[in-house]
Amino acid sequence: MTPRPWLHGFLDLCLLAMLRERPDYGYGLAQRLAAAGVADVPGGTLYPALLRLEQQGLASPSWAPSEAGPRRKYYEITPAGRAALDAQAAEWRGFRDGVDSLIGEHVR
């Protein structure tokens, strides 16, 4: 699993990307992150990040009842969120390619 410091810079990016696919709530997003093999994100990291996206207007919340247990807070990506996602995705690709090229030189 990815060490936390790496994820820290890209958690917002991952969350926005998942929300673009479909609106989701905290637990669902945690499951998807783990399933994708990105990280097992602790709740103390995930939920503040979601609240921050909400505060910055990148995701908008809505409450929905669940079959079992308490109602859930679903997040949906906003147009501003899409714009931020595009910008951050480009940044990520640049970063990834840079790291790849460095690893390529030395490891192979």
Partner 1 sequence: MNDWPLRFEAELVRLGVQPQRARQLSVETAAQAGEHAADPDGFFGPAHLYARHLVAELRAPLPDTRCPTGRVMLRLTGVGKRFRRRTVLTGVDLTVRGGEVAAIVGANGCGKSTLLRICAGLTTPTSGTVHRTRRVGFVPQDGGTAGWLTADEHFTLFGVAAGMTPRKARSTGTHLASLLAWRPGRTQPVQELSGGTRQKLNLILGELHGPDLLLLDEPYQGFDQGAYLDFWRQVRSWRDAGRAVVVVTHLLHELQHVDHVLDLGAAA
Contacting residue, 22, 34, 36, 48, with partner 1 by CB under 8 A: 48
Q: Which residues pair with 53 in a beta bridge?
A: none
> How big, in percent rounded to 5, are the helix, strand and coil portions of the chain?
65, 15, 20
Contacting residue, 47, 60, 76, 89, with partner 1 by CB under 8 A: 47
Stretch of residues binding partner 1 (CB under 8 A), selected from 13-21, 45-53, 75-83, 99-107? 45-53
Residues 15-44 that bind partner 1 (CB under 8 A): 25-27, 30, 43-44
Q: In the complex, what is the shortest distance from the CB of residue 73 to partner 1, in angstroms, rounded to a whole number? A: 6
Residue 69, interface with partner 1 (CB under 8 A)?
yes
Nearest Cα to 77, choosing from 86, 65, 66, 90?
Answer: 86
Please check whether residue 12 is in contact with residue 53, taking contact to mean a CB–CB distance below 8 angstroms: yes
Q: Which two tokens stand for residue 47?
A: 């939920």
Residue 65, interface with partner 1 (CB under 8 A)?
no
Residue 62, interface with partner 1 (CB under 8 A)?
no
CA dihedral (10, 13, 15, 18) positive or negative: negative
Contact footprint for partner 1 (CB under 8 A): 25-27, 30, 43-44, 47-49, 51-52, 55-56, 69-73
